Amino acid sequence: MRPLEGITVVTLEHAIAAPFATRQLADLGARVVKVERPKVGDFARGYDETVLGLASHFVWVNRSKESMTLNLKHPRAKEIMARLLQGADVFVQNLAPGAADRLGLGTDELLERYPRLIVCNISGYGNSGPYRDKKAYDLLIQSEAGLLSVTGTPDTPCKAGISIADIAAGMYAYCGILSALYSREKTGKGASVEVSMLEALSEWMGYPLYYSHYGGSPPRRTGAAHATIFPYGPFLSGDGKQVMLGLQNEREWAVFCEQVLMRPELKNDPRFESNSKRVANAEELTAIIHEVFGTLSAQQVVARLDAAAIANARINDMEEVWGHQQLAARNRWRQVPSPVGPIQALLPPFSISGFEARMDAIPDLGEHTDLVLTGIGYSEEDIVQLRTENVI
């Protein structure tokens, strides 16, 4: 039995943050009813068509859910939502600021009507403050949270290559919902869970925030290299390939000089005798490393690093990650059904003894509308009428 079997989640979600959170709940066995707009659905369905005609974002965060369509602005939608929430344990929404309140789905109102309900609201900036009503997208939050200021090259700030603000908010929402469910087991009472993308990503910015505020200067933008530890980043080998390596302490520096560079005298060189001096003289040290690595292939560099127990990695592209031998060796891939046929999907990154994560189908838009409505008491005739009236 999966941990969240018997838990029902109703969600008004779109894009990434909320769907990512609720997919984690579905992975653990929760029933997730995804309420979507008729004909259009979650707008992430239309981001691209790269996965056999489906959108890559949607495929990633929406497996194992039930999709029903409902026109929330129709007068009859309120009754349907009331029936859904009557049997729900969790309600999640990341609609535009104020939209849930205008639909009669504000936190206070819901908790008064359904005292055992967990209500999770995910927003860009939170439910108060001067930015409350400001629209928020992932890249904009990366900017506001300072991520762009410390990411990129000295000349050009860069965003993260993934929706990191959405993911951060989604993970905190997931953790918050689990915590609220656990608390309800002890108190019998529901709770509200509030998560903002800005606050989630600002938490993840803790290191540069502390470093900058108390150190007096922000971390430099150093491309793929570490801003405050050296050598820690990509270095070029003789066959034109890059090898990523990282040193964490003086013991590793000595071993690196002796067994990788084969230059033991460097470990006591006054230019490089501490991390701060290596950072200050990074250009000189890079030239020395490249001089040595230039006589070796990437495979030979990695062999030396492995033999010396120095941390290293390949800079993989997406296809190399897809076929990564470690993921294959640990049997992390599964097949999930979808409207266009079977699609490969990674197991969730955690494993709990005694069960395997749920890996069910990616839903077609409105695929489960009739099933959900029948389950909350609507007859076939009722459903036909609702469809005729464009409620669903």
pLDDT tens for 236-265 read 999 999 999 999 999 999 999 999 999 999
226 catalytic? Reply is yes
Mean pLDDT estimate for the chain: 95
For 90-133, write each residue's pLDDT tens digit.
Answer: 999 999 999 999 999 999 999 999 999 999 999 999 999 999 99
Residue 263: partners with Cβ closer than 8 Å, 6 or more residues away: 257, 288, 292
> Residue 75: what pLDDT?
94
Q: Choose the weakest-confidence range: 181-190, 191-200, 207-216, 362-371.
A: 207-216
**CATH topology for the 8-205+328-388 domain:** Rossmann fold (3.40.50)
Catalytic site residue from 14, 57, 74, 226: 226
Residues of the chain with CATH 3.40.50.10540: 8-205+328-388
- Whole-number pLDDT of residue 227: 83
**What's the rounded mean pLDDT across residues 158-187?**
97
CATH of segment(s) 232-314: 3.30.1540.10
- Structure tokens that stand for 371 in this block: 């099933």
pTM to 2 decimals? 0.91
Given a cut of 90, whether residue 222 has pLDDT beyond it is no
Q: What is the structure's pLDDT at 42?
A: 96
- Residue 184 has a pLDDT of 97
Give the pLDDT of residue 219.
Answer: 84
Q: Which residue has the tokens 């197991």?
A: 347
pLDDT of 260:
97
Task: For the chain, give the percent of residues with pLDDT over 70.
Answer: 100
Give the tens place of pLDDT for each residue, 7-48.
999 999 999 999 999 999 999 999 999 999 999 999 999 999
Helix axes 206-215, 197-204, angle to 10 degrees: 70
Q: What is the pLDDT of residues 308-353, one digit of tens each?
A: 999 999 888 899 999 999 999 999 999 999 999 999 999 999 889 9
What pLDDT band is residue 4 in, cutting at 50, 70 and 90?
very high
Provide CATH 3.30.1540.10 ranges for the chain.
232-314
Tell me the one-letter amino acid at 214.
Y
Contact call for residues 237 and 293 (beta carbons, < 8 A):
yes
pLDDT of residue 17: 97
User: Is the sign of the CA dihedral 19, 21, 24, 30 positive or negative?
Assistant: negative
